[in-house]
Amino acid sequence: IGDTGTIHFAVKYPDSDMVYESEGVVQRWLSDQEQPDLFGGLGIAMYVPEVPPVVSEVVVGSPAEEIGLRSGDKVLRADGLTMTLWMDWVEYVRARPQQPIELEYLRGGEILRAVIVPERITDDSGETFGRVGVRVALPEMPPEMVRSFSRGPLEALGASFVRTGELTVFTLKSIQKMVMGLISPKNLSGPITIAKVASASAKSGLGSYISFLALLSVSLGVLNLLPIPVLDGGHLLFYAVELLAGRPVPEKIQSLGYQLGLFMVLGIMMLALYNDFSRL
């Protein structure tokens, strides 16, 4: 993200071992995006399984709850138009904030009818859309699209060191790009977003949750070692100066450094919290 140059990628044909390589030229790629779509930014549409319009969960206090929708209900038609897939229903609702929709849905073999009015939602970018407050249960991925692999203890240990190095470089590059303005500061997240991502990764499985914890731990470790007073990296900086100069850094300079460092850390924390609350 934020790079300028050529991106190379390889694509494998389905049901074949044939692989072809392609490339694309980018300029400050997705640098202004708060939630970058990596593949969409390259013009690639990822595979999405066909999801039937069956409700799995109803949000409390939502328009869907008000008309009595329940888990297991299947949306049949909206204003007489057949809803074949879940995305058909989602797109129809999003385009009609605060507009009555005549809904037909199936429950236990019986067709029921109701009028639902999507609530009006405005996101951070100012876009307005409709929402009724229902969620869908995603189907399992086809077996041919699932890959599983395992490593022995020694191989896993070596891979863990490699992965830690990759995460460290990734964190440092992300900090550099944010300082240079190549990544939007809106991507900075605080404890609320971290908790949401942790919850989502835990629901995805133990492997996803552990991977998220590893990324979080490495990122916090790298941030803690930055040469900013009040952080461990700041203490190491003072020790390095003392080692090279042969005498401690004057207390006044240390005190000023701690004040500036504290101001910087608090500023970053406030920005992260602001971004968190703006996403609620």
- Give me Rg for the CA atoms of the chain: 25
Parallel/antiparallel/unpaired status of strands 101-107 and 74-78: antiparallel
What is the signed CA dihedral for 170, 172, 178, 184, rounded to 10 degrees?
Answer: 20
Residue whose entry in the numeric block shows the structure tokens 């140059």: 5
Q: What is the sign of the dihedral through the CA atoms of 29, 11, 40 and 160?
A: negative
**CA–CA distances in Å: residue 256 to residues 128, 220, 252:** 47, 24, 6
pLDDT by residue for the chain (280 residues), tens only, comes to: 666 777 777 877 777 778 878 777 766 656 666 566 666 666 677 777 788 899 999 999 999 999 999 999 999 999 999 999 998 999 999 999 999 999 999 998 899 999 999 999 887 667 899 999 998 877 777 777 777 778 888 898 898 899 899 989 988 888 888 887 777 777 788 888 888 888 888 887 888 888 888 889 998 999 999 998 889 999 999 999 889 988 888 989 989 999 999 999 999 899 888 888 877 6
Give me 49's structure tokens. 């399984």
Are the beta carbons of 122 and 99 closer than 8 angstroms?
A: no
The CATH classification number of 55-138 equals 2.30.42.10
DSSP 34: S
pTM: 0.58
Question: What pLDDT shows up at residue 150?
Answer: 82
Helix (H) and strand (E) counts in the chain: 7, 10
HSE, side-chain direction, 13 A CA sphere, residue 15: 0
Residues forming CATH 2.30.42.10 domain(s) in the chain: 55-138
Spell out where 60-133 has E strands.
Answer: 74-78, 81-82, 101-107, 110-116, 119-122, 128-131
